[in-house]
Amino acid sequence: MARILVIYSTTDGHTQRICDRLRDVLERQGHQVTVASIRDEPVPELNAFDKIVIGASIRYGRHSPLVFDFIRRNQRVLDGKPSAFFSVNVVARKPEKNRPETNPYVKKFLKQIAWKPGHLDVFAGRIDYPSYSFGDRMVIRFIMWITNGPTDPKAVVEFTDWNRVEAFGLVIATMQ
């Protein structure tokens, strides 16, 4: 049994839902799992865990600066433990952009950090127009219009492949 930290940055809560699913998978495998927001104060002590997973959402083409800061501050600990990273973004709804090596946000992210996670994945996110502010709804609809995505302002569309999330959980369970 390993002690696993799954720490995340989310914009609208969907990345947290993915982390909760990962926790369920890992606990079924007999692991002790802590899920925490990168915004939590204090962040759990990383040295108390055997494995560390970081999940981060994209909004307007960027991961939160908090993710970069967390990685920078904890680089040495992250390098010394089995670790994984996943990104959540709507671009990953497209088959040609749903792998870490083909997703533009994951590729850009990896170029901006020194940490080299042992395992990577990317999951398609969710669009929830009714929950967005007027400005966000307009910008996201425009982006979706350009990229042939859903634009109905009343639409809630989940693109996440939950079987893939669970498969990533099994990868985390066995990483060393």
d(CA 92, CA 164): 12
* Matching residue, tokens 């669009």: 127
The distance from CA 147 to its chain's CA centroid, rounded to whole angstroms, is: 21
In tens, the pLDDT along 76-124 reads 999 999 999 999 999 999 999 999 999 999 999 999 999 999 999 999 9
Q: Do 49 and 23 belong to one domain?
A: yes
The distance from CA 150 to its chain's CA centroid, rounded to whole angstroms, is: 22
Q: Do 47 and 98 belong to one domain?
A: yes
Q: Do 73 and 56 belong to one domain?
A: yes
What percent of the chain has pLDDT above 90?
95
Q: What are the start-end ranges of the E strands in 60-100?
A: 62-63, 83-89
pLDDT of residue 40: 87
Q: Do 71 and 147 belong to one domain?
A: no
Domain of 137 in residue numbering reads as 127-159
Average pLDDT taken over every residue of the chain = 96
Q: Do 52 and 121 belong to one domain?
A: yes
Model confidence, pTM? 0.94
Tokens of 87: 């990104």
Q: Do 52 and 138 belong to one domain?
A: no
Q: Do 11 and 76 belong to one domain?
A: yes
Q: Do 134 and 92 belong to one domain?
A: no
Q: Do 111 and 141 belong to one domain?
A: no
What's 65's domain CATH number?
3.40.50.360
Question: Which is nearest to 58 in space by CA: 123, 111, 144?
Answer: 123
| Domains: count for the chain | 2
